[in-house]
């Protein structure tokens, strides 16, 4: 009889005995591995947190008690235990379950997250709301060790420790190794320290010290220092205790004999407590344990071998950008690369292999990465930051304050620009054009194909000002590559085809779709010009104004937020040029957060395919051709 199939919610889990939990965990792992092998997803981290998830829902009274999952890409077991088992096969699919926590999806998902470092701050907000409303439920935040490099996490810990309100932070450490003996001893000590007897004993000893005439306070102070020194020699918890937390750990996160009693005791404590739990990424699936980096966010894979089911025949935009960077770095010793814990994701492993001493991984600290780059740039270096568009959002102020205001030559290789598929709302890179183009001194460009990308990387590094090149997720178009990257003329687009009826002014991956749409229009007798803008800023105002003056209407196209983006820049050009007689329309993404789904499906839904552009252009031209209706 399947244990998992009998669980429709945590209340069913609490009917089981702890002796059944190992079998339940195996079923959960089997289910996760089976589904993710078909659809792809965050496998390694989810396999590592199964026991902890079961223990939390068993001991807490969720959903009354609140669990905040930092990043929340490790919540697959959580979803299986909270009423979503029947829908789990739809995870990360269009119209299916989110791969992250989503409050709209379940009452058990307390906070939407897709970026690391948000959990502790949100949990502190939960705690203070609880206190304001005179409630008594528990608040638990599960945070990964990688998120400790996030300044936001440390800011949240600082407030929590200072307030001394009841909060449990669980540090899910999947990097530290812990032997069986150390784990057993640590678990025994933690059960003793956190048990009611241990806590009462500590309190009574402190009271006794305070009663000693004249010297009691000093004795207590010295004893506290001695205790801190001793703990510092054998425990990694000094930092947290200095922040005002009671530190417990490290504890083996896969042994229920240790995990359950310690967690039960910790949940009885008052004030801020940090429980340090050590887990193993990929546990239960050997390929994931052997290669946790690839299985952090894998594509579909063969269940028996762990090998990807299919590899792209053409190189990715990410690899083209980094390979160009390597080529340029061989000739220019000023070039260094900086990543915020995304070396593999952005393809920087190739750069690291060639220049290990010129790659800086600063951890999950995007703000620091940008200001660090600014500091290097002031000293004559040419720092390059390959970064996902959605993660660069986190360093918005640093791009303005530390890079743009000083007009420093920092290059941003913005990966995953536009629609990114199954990771969904928090990961679509659709706001970068809009949030970068109003910054003085900033140069922004986007290639129509992979060959143009290599020239744009060269253009950015050759510039003496802040510059960004934005490219999509996925494979290139398979175009012929030039042997040597050359810098493009700053702010100059190109006219790909002439026309007299309508102008399709496009940027980035939308350019080749616009070309296909123009050919279809031509077959129907509509003469369509196509402009590859290349630059969002400085935009080629002369080219756009000239083409606009030769046609009856204009359609601006971008795979980004239409509000304030590239299309808005085109409209500003027409306004400045006084070309009010040419009807113009912007085709981009609407003013809401885009859902998850395959790139092609989403492009089709929002009219950003060749057919969608053709339909929009045809409708626009038809309205213009009819002209005003007389009354």
Angle at 520 between CA 519 and CA 522, to 5 degrees: 65
Furthest CA-CA distance within the chain: 101
Residues in contact with 222: Cβ distance below 8 Å, sequence separation at least 6, in sequence order: none
Residue with tokens 């050009």: 573
Q: What is the DSSP string of 396-456?
A: HHHIIIIIITTT---EEEEES-B--GGG-TTT-B-SHHHHHTTSTT-EEE--SSHHHHHHH
Q: How far apart are CA 401 and CA 397, in angstroms?
A: 6
Name the 3-class secondary structure at 250: strand
Helix (H, G, I), strand (E, B) or coil at 243: coil
Structure tokens, 559: 């795979």
Report yes or no: 170 and 140 within 8 Å, Cβ to Cβ.
yes
Q: How far apart are CA 373 and CA 577, in angstroms?
A: 38
Task: Name, in order, each residue with C-beta under 8 angstroms of 342's C-beta and a sequence gap of 6 or more.
Answer: 348, 386, 387, 388, 391
- Tokens linked to 242: 């200095």
Burial annotation 275-285 (CB, 10 A radius, 16+ → b, else e): bbbbbbbbbbb
139, 166 contact by CB (below 8 A): yes
Q: Which of 445, 625, 444, 380 is nearest to 524 (CA)?
A: 625
CA-based nearest residue to 448, from 388, 535, 386: 535
| Structure tokens that stand for 358 in this block | 């010129």
- Closest residue by Cα to residue 121 from 79, 78, 98, 150: 150
238-244 long-range Cβ contacts below 8 angstroms, 24+ apart: 240/157, 240/161, 240/274, 243/157, 243/158, 243/160, 243/161, 244/160, 244/161, 244/162, 244/164, 244/272
Nearest to 422 by CA among 70, 39, 116: 39
Distance CA 337, CA 95 (A): 38
H or E stretch covering 494:
strand 494-497
Please check whether residue 458 is in contact with residue 431, taking contact to mean a CB–CB distance below 8 angstroms: no
Hey, what are 45's tokens?
A: 């981290």
Please tell me whether residue 25 adopts helix, strand or coil conformation: helix
d(CA 272, CA 245): 5
Spell out the alpha helix ranges (H) of 450-533. Answer: 450-462, 510-523
| Number of Cβ atoms within 10 Å of the Cβ of 33 | 20
Residue 500 contacts residue 554 (beta carbons within 8 Å): no
Cis omega (within 30 of 0) on the bond before 250?
yes
* Active-site amino acid positions: 281, 366, 394
Q: Contact 550/500 with Cβ under 8 angstroms?
A: yes
Instruction: Tell me whether the omega of the peptide bond preceding residue 538 falls within 30 degrees of 0, making it cis.
Output: yes
């Amino acid at each position: 009889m399947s244990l998992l199939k009998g669980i429709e919610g945590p209340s069913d889990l609490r009917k089981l005995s702890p002796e059944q939990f190992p079998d339940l965990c195996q079923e959960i792992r089997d289910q996760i591995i089976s589904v993710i092998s078909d659809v792809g997803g965050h496998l390694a981290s989810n396999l590592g947190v199964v026991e902890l998830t079961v223990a939390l829902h068993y001991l807490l009274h969720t959903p009354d008690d609140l669990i905040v999952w930092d990043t929340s890409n490790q919540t697959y077991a959580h979803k299986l235990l909270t009423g979503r088992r029947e829908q789990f096969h739809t995870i990360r699919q269009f119209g299916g379950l989110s791969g992250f926590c989503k409050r709209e999806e379940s009452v058990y998902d307390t906070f939407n997250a897709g970026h690391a470092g948000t959990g502790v701050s949100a949990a502190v907000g939960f705690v203070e709301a609880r206190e304001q409303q005179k409630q008594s439920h528990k608040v638990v935040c599960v945070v990964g060790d990688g998120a400790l490099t996030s300044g936001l996490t440390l800011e949240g810990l600082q407030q929590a420790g200072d307030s001394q309100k009841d909060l449990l932070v669980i540090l899910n450490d999947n990097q530290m190794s812990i032997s069986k003996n150390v784990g057993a001893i640590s678990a025994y000590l933690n059960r003793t320290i956190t048990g009611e007897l241990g806590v009462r004993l500590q309190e009574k000893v402190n009271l006794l010290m305070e009663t000693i005439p004249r010297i009691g306070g000093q004795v207590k102070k010295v004893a506290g220092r001695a205790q801190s020194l001793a703990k510092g020699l054998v425990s990694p918890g000094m930092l947290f205790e200095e922040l005002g937390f009671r530190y417990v750990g490290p504890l083996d996160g896969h042994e229920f004999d240790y995990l359950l009693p310690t967690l039960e005791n910790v949940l009885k404590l008052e004030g801020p407590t940090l429980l340090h739990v050590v887990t193993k990424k990929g546990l239960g699936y050997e390929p994931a344990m052997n290669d946790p980096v690839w299985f952090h966010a894998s594509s579909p894979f063969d269940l028996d071998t762990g090998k990807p089911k299919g590899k792209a025949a053409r190189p990715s935009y990410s690899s083209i950008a980094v390979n160009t960077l390597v080529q340029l770095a061989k000739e220019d010793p000023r070039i260094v690369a900086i990543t915020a814990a995304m070396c593999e994701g952005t393809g920087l492993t190739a750069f690291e292999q060639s220049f290990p001493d010129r790659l800086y991984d600063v951890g999950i600290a995007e703000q620091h990465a940008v200001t660090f780059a600014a500091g290097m740039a002031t000293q004559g270096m040419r720092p390059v930051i390959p970064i996902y568009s959605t993660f660069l959002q986190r360093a918005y102020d640093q791009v303005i304050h530390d890079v743009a205001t000083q007009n420093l030559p920092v290059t941003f290789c913005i990966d995953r620009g536009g629609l990114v598929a199954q990771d969904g709302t928090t990961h679509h890179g659709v706001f970068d054009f809009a949030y970068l183009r109003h910054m003085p001194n900033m140069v922004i460009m986007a290639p129509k194909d992979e060959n143009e990308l290599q020239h744009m990387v060269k253009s950015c590094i050759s510039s003496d000002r802040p510059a960004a090149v934005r490219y999509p997720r996925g494979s290139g178009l398979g175009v012929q590559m030039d042997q040597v990257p050359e810098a493009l003329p700053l702010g100059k687009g190109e006219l790909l085809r002439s026309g007299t009826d309508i102008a399709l002014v496009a940027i980035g991956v939308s350019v080749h779709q616009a070309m296909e749409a123009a050919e279809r229009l031509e077959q129907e007798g509509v003469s369509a010009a196509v402009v590859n803008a290349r630059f969002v800023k400085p935009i080629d105002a002369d080219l756009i104004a000239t083409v606009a003056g030769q046609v009856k209407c204009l359609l601006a196209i971008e795979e980004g937020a239409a509000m304030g983006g590239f299309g808005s820049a085109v409209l500003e050009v027409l306004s400045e040029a006084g070309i009010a007689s040419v009807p113009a329309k912007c085709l981009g993404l609407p003013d809401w957060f885009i859902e998850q789904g395959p790139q092609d499906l989403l492009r089709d839904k929002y009219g950003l395919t060749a057919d969608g552009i053709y339909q929009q252009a045809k409708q626009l031209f038809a309205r213009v051709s009819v002209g005003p209706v007389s009354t």
